[in-house]
Amino acid sequence: MNQEGILVVVSGFSGAGKGTLIKALMETHDNYALSISATTRQPRAGETDGKEYFFVSQEHFKSMMESDALIEYAQYVNNFYGTPKDYVEKQRAAGKDVILEIEIQGALKIKKKFPETLLLFVMPPSAQELKRRLVRRGTESPEVIAARLKRACEEASGIEAYDYIVINDDLEACVAELHSLIQAQHNRTANCLELINRVRNELSLL
């Protein structure tokens, strides 16, 4: 199949378990690389530069935008978020499938730019379960939970733009499913053109 890694966007409601899922996927398979976004927002307690995000100044972010160093960027409230191009390209060239954990705005921009990108949307088995998980975290106030559920409502309107839905019910089964969906992408006809053309040439010479 293709030697180059594919680009995979994983989105999903806050509380759907994207983070845990992606972490487990990276731990159980070595063919993935996780893209880290750059952002102008301040790090929260416990966040480390280069781990959750690359925390950069507004000025630095603007220079990245201007020098075409981001494959997509978006603004939420007063903060910018973007995907550095350099890392993604290097990892793909090395054959790694690159995971971007970004929101729908960015997902749609990437799909437009790279139509073979796989867009995956992680859902909880039910809205009640989503609420339970947000409450169980115990880190957020009722107001924040309400805001997240409202946000989930809004995000839900964009789901149709995604290629596949992943129901995060059982973690292990879900990781296996995610891996299988991503690997299937290597068999997409558009990702096998080199092989197809080789066999075609060979056939014509037989």
CA distance 129 to 167: 12
DSSP 8: E
C-alpha 194: how far from chain center:
26
Q: Which of 153, 175, 163, 132 is nearest to 18 (CA)?
A: 175
Per-residue binding string, its own copies, 163-182, x by CB under 8 A, is xxxxx---------x--xx-
Is residue 70 close enough to count as binding its own copies by CB under 8 A? no
Mark the segment that binds its own copies (CB under 8 A) among 18-26, 41-49, 93-101, 153-161: 153-161
CB of 180 to its own copies, least distance (A): 5
Question: Which residues inside 112-151 make contact with its own copies, applying CB under 8 A?
Answer: 121, 123-124, 126-128, 130-131, 149
Strand partners, 165: 121
Is residue 78 close enough to count as binding its own copies by CB under 8 A? no
Q: How far apart are the first and last CA of the chain?
A: 23
Alpha helices (H) in 85-170, listed in sequence order = 85-93, 104-113, 127-137, 142-156
Catalog residues that contact its own copies under the rule CB under 8 A: 1, 121, 123-124, 126-128, 130-131, 149, 152-153, 156-157, 159-160, 162-167, 177, 180-181, 183-184, 187-189, 192, 195-196, 198-200, 202-206
